């Protein structure tokens, strides 16, 4: 998506450890007009999939997920990050390795909000090694719900999380795919990352 790519080139900052900072428009200050355009694009891609729920993960996926859900007219569920190891009972839980902070955390979703009849679209800000997306998709399968796919704002294709999940059959649509961030310079995939 041209608009998002241009914004990344203008305002994104490459940090050590292959981290792209996009605090100016996505991860801290949020450009809601841009989110609206991204939401329309996700809707164009998934409009025939009868999405009943959008699932994301706290915190930085929530903004994009909410604006997207307005276009789909469906609720948003955000998976909560939990420090409690032994969560009993009424939640689905999965373990996720953190790309940005290191270590592992659990994510939980109440069984009340994810049902077998749901058709779920996962929305997130970044896809790097695929741990967050893998964790979210396992919550969906634990609920017996259908995963229609994932809509991602920025995929760092050189970290290959997307390849691995796609090869397992997951439909992933990323609005900006980054081929490399060497020497602080962002380069996008022009149909040449696969």
Give the interface with ligand 5GP as residue ranges (CB under 6 A).
19-22, 27, 57, 60, 99-100, 124-133, 161
78 within 8 A of 91, measured Cβ to Cβ: no
Q: For ligand 5GP, which is the closer residue by CB, 4 or 57? A: 57
Residue 158: DSSP 8-state: G
Q: For ligand 5GP, which is the closer residue by CB, 91 or 161? A: 161
Q: For ligand 5GP, which is the closer residue by CB, 50 or 188? A: 188
Shortest reach from residue 47's CB to ligand 5GP, in Å: 24
Q: For ligand 5GP, which is the closer residue by CB, 91 or 107? A: 107
Dihedral angle computed from the Cα positions of residues 110, 107, 124 and 155, in that order, rounded to the nearest 10 degrees: -150
Question: If you search the block for the tokens 């719900």, which residue do you land on?
Answer: 145
Shortest reach from residue 56's CB to ligand 5GP, in Å: 9
Residue 83: DSSP 8-state: -
Q: For ligand 5GP, which is the closer residue by CB, 22 or 114? A: 22
Shortest reach from residue 66's CB to ligand 5GP, in Å: 16
Buried b (16+ CB within 10 A) or exposed e, 28-48: eebbeebbeebbebbbeebee
- Joined tokens for residue 105: 């955390």
63 within 8 A of 35, measured Cβ to Cβ: yes
Cis bond leading into 7, ω under 30°? no
């Amino acid at each position: 998506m041209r608009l998002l790519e241009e914004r990344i080139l203008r305002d994104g900052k490459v940090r050590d450890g292959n981290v792209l900072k996009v605090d100016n428009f996505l991860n801290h200050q949020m450009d809601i007009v841009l989110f609206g355009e991204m939401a329309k694009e996700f809707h164009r891609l998934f409009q025939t999939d009868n999405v009943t729920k959008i699932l994301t993960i706290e915190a930085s996926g929530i903004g994009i997920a909410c604006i997207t859900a307005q276009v789909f007219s469906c609720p948003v569920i955000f998976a909560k990050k939990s420090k409690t190891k032994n969560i009993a009972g009424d939640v689905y839980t999965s373990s996720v390795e953190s790309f940005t902070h290191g270590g592992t955390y659990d994510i939980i979703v109440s069984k009340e909000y994810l049902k077998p009849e749901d058709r779920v679209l996962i929305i997130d800000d970044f896809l790097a090694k695929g741990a967050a997306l893998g964790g979210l998709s396992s919550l969906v399968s634990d609920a017996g719900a259908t995963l229609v796919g994932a809509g991602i704002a920025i995929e760092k294709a050189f970290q290959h999380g997307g390849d691995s999940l796609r090869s397992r059959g997951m439909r992933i649509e990323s609005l900006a795919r980054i081929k490399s961030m060497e020497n602080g310079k962002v380069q996008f995939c022009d149909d040449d990352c696969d």
